[in-house]
Chain A
Amino acid sequence: MAHSPENGRIILEMRGVSKSFPGVKALDRVDLEVRAGEAHCLVGENGAGKSTLMKILAGAVPLDEGEIRIDGEPVHIRSPHHAQQLGISMIYQEFNLSPFLSVAENIFLGREPRYPHTPFVNWPAMYDQARDLLRRINVDLDVRRSVNELSIAQQQMVEIAKALSFQAKIIVMDEPSATLTEHELNALFNLIRELKRQGVGIVYISHRLEELFETGDRVTVMRDGKYVGRLDIAEITQRRDDPDRAAKITATRDAIIRMMVARKLDEGLFPKETFERGEEVLRVEGLCRYGVFHDISFALHKGEIVGLTGLVGAGRTEVARAIFGADPLDEGAIHLYGKRITVRSPQDAIRHGIGLLTEDRKNQGLILGMSVRENTTLANLSELLRGLVFLDKRRERDAAAKLARDLEIRAPSVETVVQTLSGGNQQKVVLAKWLFTRSKVLIFDEPTRGIDVGAKVAIYELMNTLVRRGVAVLIISSEMLEVIGMCDRVLVMNSGWMPNALSGELRDWPSHELTYAEVNA
């Protein structure tokens, strides 16, 4: 690609950036460098620190150590507003648009052009300027339309136009492709090429590694909060007629994967114990929720851990919620120990011994303002009744204390409010809650997200203990190594049902045959 004279200059440098949160070192001396007119891909597993790094760049989180230079000038980014002034724009997965305002109003929100010396908005000027911005990125859209009438892809275009209206020099796109269709995706890539031509530097975050070769110039890989390395892929991206292109992409992608995950498997992060596979505990047949997932069938046995994986948005969480009664099911049957059960609400599921550790612990798993004790017993207070209505507080305290000891929950006492605990200990409190209900089936949705490495191992060890006690465990996870490392079998979901459409069943793998690439293919 012909670079304009401007292009190629380094516009953003982050050097030795470190950041700690209570109990977690989120970033450890990370480097990132972006040139004008470059699409710089940032990759790493969940929890590798990409989001934190970008939040620092956006001024949402202050850094502990390190230096940021923009156009060679050291800057100290004080706030999101300041970041904008410096020419940094973020496009998050969740858009920051006001749904009932028009396209133009959203683009110029808070900076509406006005008639000189009056408080009145100059609507014609605003519409003209909005049209100009959209034309710059070759997007055809009525600027008067209300944003809630637009498709996700169109809303994304509005976000990008808004970023350009700030004279953005650097645009960060966080998983921009996650919710787009194939056709919309091509439009996005064209748009990125256009932005590059105009000298904008782009930080592109994505889990779909194949995508990087559409527009990417360089790739920075992160792992566990550290900078791992940088690869130049501009040549592969640009030479689309190269006969060996496919082979080169595969080789480079595998190299990136190795950098992302390296070691880990050998370092004893996964204390997997294997048990004899016992009787069937849970079996689901033909589960269907129209428009969300379709014809899901699988079984869980005593003595095994089964993984459920696939891309974010494939409907994994939704399947778990439906089995748990949190969402309605349109079709299908759930069997427990061979007997069909009806689950219409979480109460039903809990009564039958099914527990769900939700992905979002803080908003769906815990009552943050309540104590460890109260959270532990919430799902099974009937166990503690003395007479018809009164709770036996002493028994409650003893039970909670025992579980806290068993799970090694690190808290001053069971009366400690769970809000003050670290992510790992909060997850243990959720687990304690389900142990207190004597669950026979436990579904873990992203069990180790946002938890530091030490606590992860503790959670994995607890999973072993559960399996030893005869609990059937299903793990939903986007972290391939977690799935490979901890599961006996793996089910792969893709866009609401399995990729292997012929058999009408989930693709079911022994975990050791599974590689990262196969799942992402």
Chain B
Amino acid sequence: MAVEPRRYDAATRRLLVFGPLLAALLLETIIFEVVGRYQGKPSFFSLDNAILILNQSSVHGVVAVGMTFVILTGGIDLSVGSMLAFAGVICALVTQWGGDPVALWIGGGWIAALALGATAGALVGLLVTRFAIPPFIATLALMSSLRGLGNLITDGKPVSPLPELYAQVGRYQLFGHVPVSVLFFIAALVCGATLLNMTRFGRYVRAIGGNEESARLSGVNVARVKLLVYAFCGGLTALAGLILSSRLGAGSPKVGVGDELAVIAAVVVGGTSLSGGRGSVGGTFVGLLVVSVLNSGLSWTGVETFGQQVTLGLVILAAVLLDKLKGDV
């Protein structure tokens, strides 16, 4: 017989989600600090390193905010990796094609890519709501098509050279310290959290994930909310792709392969349930940090990619097992 899941009120739930995550973050930091010191390296726990880690996780972070919404409705978006690359390619092509004035055409490229991302997301939303295609399948199809399309229009090669200004946007540092990508990341987090917690739309998102039929019978326009959620995720993914492309100074059709899984992993580690209804933007943020600090720290202490992959797998498993042990939070 199935055990009745335990249920907690919001405050307890927050504690149960964030407590272990923050503890894990602290533990990681201490371990890497101690091991690093032992190896004679400078301090791991420094402001510069913190900014570095935030910068490294900003692309995934922006996508993860959108992915959190999608997963909260009980859906999934596998197309984000391809969309990352495609958005960069589009922006780079528009910039190249337009020429002068450079600033104007780069701006136009950004707008075109963002619009495309949102539209592709809306298309997924339409397939999911109107034609009842499972999100897994709809976005799997988009993932493949977008990747192919990006490679087709660029002949598989990065779009470059590009004007210097193209790369300067992504490499700009506020006060000489804070990279612009981190600002975008923080902005996405704040917007996402506000949208989820303070607006009617956010309430509907969680209601649909909790029980779609009940939500529908309570007058929630399920189709519209879902469509907007996929469009939101597509738009944020395009934004992340633009940041990445700008940092690289090129529009590469090859980036972002497999990133959809890294993003989903961060969202899940952050306590968002794949069956929908439960989760938070804050959880996703901390989940992503746990993963990023781990990867960064392992590199720091000399563990290379293969070892990092194994460790990441174990962390995902541990996070989900912990979730089970806590009961249905």
A321-349 contacts to B, CB under 8 A, are 324, 326, 345-347, 349
A346-B222 Cα distance, complex, nearest whole Å: 11
Query: Which residues of B (201-219) have their CB < 8 Å from a CB of A?
Result: 201, 203-204, 206-207, 210-211, 213-219
> Which residues of A sit under 8 angstroms from B206, Cβ to Cβ?
367, 370, 374
For the complex, is A390 an interface residue (Cβ under 8 Å from B)? yes
Is residue A167 within 8 Å, beta carbon to beta carbon, of the partner chain? Answer: no
Query: B278 is contacted by which of A326, A345, A365, A369 (Cβ under 8 Å)?
Result: A369
| Residue in chain B with minimal CB distance to A411 | B9
B199 contacts across to A, CB distance below 8 A: 389-391
Q: Which chain A residues lie closer than 8 Å to B215 at the CB level?
A: 367, 378
Q: Give the chain B neighbours of A390 by CB distance below 8 A.
A: 198-199
B11 within 8 A of A: yes
A232 within 8 Å of B (CB atoms): no
Q: Is the CB of A419 within 8 A of B7?
A: yes
Q: Is there a chain A Cβ closer than 8 Å to B112's Cβ?
A: no
CB distance from A20 to the nearest CB of B (A): 14
In Å, the complex CA distance between A379 and B203 comes to 11
Other-chain contact of A365, B198, B214, B220, B277 (Cβ < 8 Å)? B214
Task: State whether the Cβ of A520 lies closer than 8 Å to any Cβ in chain B.
Answer: no
| B200 adjacent to A350 (CB under 8 Å) | no
Partner of A417, one of B8, B201, B221: B8
Flag if B218 contacts A382 (CB, 8 Å). no
Q: How far is the CB of A132 from chain B (nearest CB, A)?
A: 35
Contact indicator A368/B210 (Cβ below 8 Å) = yes
What's the Cα separation between A326 and B7 when bound, in Å?
A: 29
A366 within 8 A of B: yes
Nearest neighbor of A61 in chain B, beta-carbon distance: B1
Contact with A along B211-248 (1 / 0, CB 8 A): 10111111111000000000000000000000000000
Is B10 among interface residues, defined by CB-CB distance under 8 A?
yes
The reply to whether A433 and B278 contact each other, CB–CB distance below 8 Å, is no
Q: Give Cα distance in the complex from A412 to B219, angstroms.
A: 28
Chain A residues within 8 Å of B216, by CB: 326, 346
Question: Within the assembled complex, what's the spacing in Å between the Cα atoms of A313 and B295?
Answer: 59
> Bound complex: CA of A258 vs CA of B278, how far in Å?
49
CB distance from A497 to the nearest CB of B (A): 25
Cross-chain contact of A378 among B10, B203, B213 (Cβ < 8 A): B203
Name the CB-closest residue of A to B277.
A369
Q: How far is the CA of A226 from the CA of B327 in the complex (A)?
A: 35
Partner of B201, one of A358, A366, A389, A393: A389
Which residues from B are CB-within-8-Å of A351?
219
- Cβ-defined contact, B1 with A367, below 8 A: no
B40 at the interface (CB under 8 A from A): no
Output the least CB separation between A444 and chain B (Å): 14
Given contacts A366-B211, A385-B200, A391-B199, contact A415 B217 (CB under 8 A): no
Q: Is the CB of A363 within 8 A of B207?
A: no
Does any Cβ of A come within 8 Å of B5's Cβ? yes
Is chain A's interface secondary structure helix, strand, loop, or mixed overall?
Answer: mixed
What residue of chain A has the Cβ atom nearest to residue B329's Cβ?
A369
Min distance, Cβ A134 to any Cβ of chain B, angstroms: 33
Is the CB of A381 closer than 8 A to any CB of chain B?
Answer: yes
> From residue 300 to 324 of chain A, which have CB atoms closer than 8 A to chain B?
324
- Cα distance, A505 to B215, chains bound together (Å): 34
Q: Which chain A residue has the least Cβ–Cβ distance from B275?
A: A369
Given contacts A346-B217, A378-B207, contact A391 B9 (CB under 8 A): no
Q: A367-B210, A370-B210 are in contact. Are A379 and B1 (CB under 8 A)?
A: no
User: Does residue A60 face the partner (Cβ distance < 8 Å to B)?
Assistant: yes
Q: How far is the CB of A413 from chain B (nearest CB, A)?
A: 7
Q: Which of B8, B217, B277 has the most CB of A within 10 A?
A: B217
A356–B211 contact, CB under 8 A?
no
B281-300: which have CB < 8 Å to A?
A: none
Query: Nearest-CB distance from A412 to chain B (Å)?
Result: 8
In chain B, positions 4-49 with a C-beta closer than 8 Å to chain A are 5, 7-11
Which residues of the partner chain B approach A419 to less than 8 Å between Cβ atoms?
5, 7
| Chain A hits for B277, CB < 8 A | 367, 369-370
Determine whether the beta carbon of A381 is less than 8 Å from that of B200.
yes
Query: Contacts of B210 on A, CB cut-off 8 Å?
Result: 367-370
Please indicate the chain B residues that have their CB under 8 angstroms from the CB of A381 in the complex: 200, 203-204
What residues of A have a CB within 8 angstroms of the CB of B203 in the complex? 374, 378, 381, 391
A148 at the interface (CB under 8 A from B): no
Q: Which of A242-257 contact B (CB under 8 A)?
A: none
Chain B nearest CB, measured from A351 CB (Å): 8
Q: Known: A363-B213, A371-B9. Is A346-B200 also a contact (CB below 8 A)? A: no
B9 touches A415 (CB 8 A): yes
Chain B residues with CB below 8 A from A370, complex form: 206-207, 210, 277
Please, how many angstroms separate the alpha-carbon atoms of A433 and B217 in the complex?
11
Q: A369-B277, A370-B210 are in contact. Are A417 and B217 (CB under 8 A)?
A: no
The answer, yes or no, to whether A51 is at the interface (CB within 8 Å) is no
On whether A433 and B9 interact (CB within 8 A), knowing A369-B277, A378-B207, the answer reads no
User: Bound complex: CA of A417 vs CA of B7, how far in Å?
Assistant: 7
A367 & B207 in contact (Cβ 8 Å cutoff): yes
Distance in Å: Cβ of A164 to nearest Cβ of chain B: 27
Please report the C-alpha to C-alpha distance between residue A29 and residue B129 in the assembled complex, in whole angstroms. 50
Is A416 positioned at the interface, with any CB of B under 8 Å from its CB? yes
The reply on A364 being an interface residue by CB < 8 A is yes
**Cα–Cα, bound, A121→B274 (Å):** 38
The docked-state distance in angstroms from the alpha carbon of A326 to that of B216 is 8
Known contacts A366-B214, A382-B200; is A60 also within 8 Å of B1 by CB? yes
Minimum C-beta distance from A347 to chain B (A): 5
B201 engages A346 (CB within 8 Å): no
Using CB atoms and an 8 Å cutoff, list the residues of chain B in contact with chain A: 1, 5, 7-11, 198-201, 203-204, 206-207, 210-211, 213-221, 277-278
Between-chain CB contacts (< 8 Å), 12 pairs: A347-B221, A351-B219, A363-B214, A366-B211, A367-B214, A368-B7, A371-B9, A374-B206, A378-B203, A385-B200, A391-B203, A415-B10
19 further interface pairs, Cβ-Cβ under 8 Å (given A381-B204, A391-B199, A391-B203): A61-B1, A345-B219, A351-B219, A356-B217, A363-B211, A366-B211, A367-B215, A368-B7, A368-B211, A370-B207, A378-B203, A378-B220, A381-B200, A381-B203, A389-B199, A389-B201, A390-B199, A417-B7, A419-B7
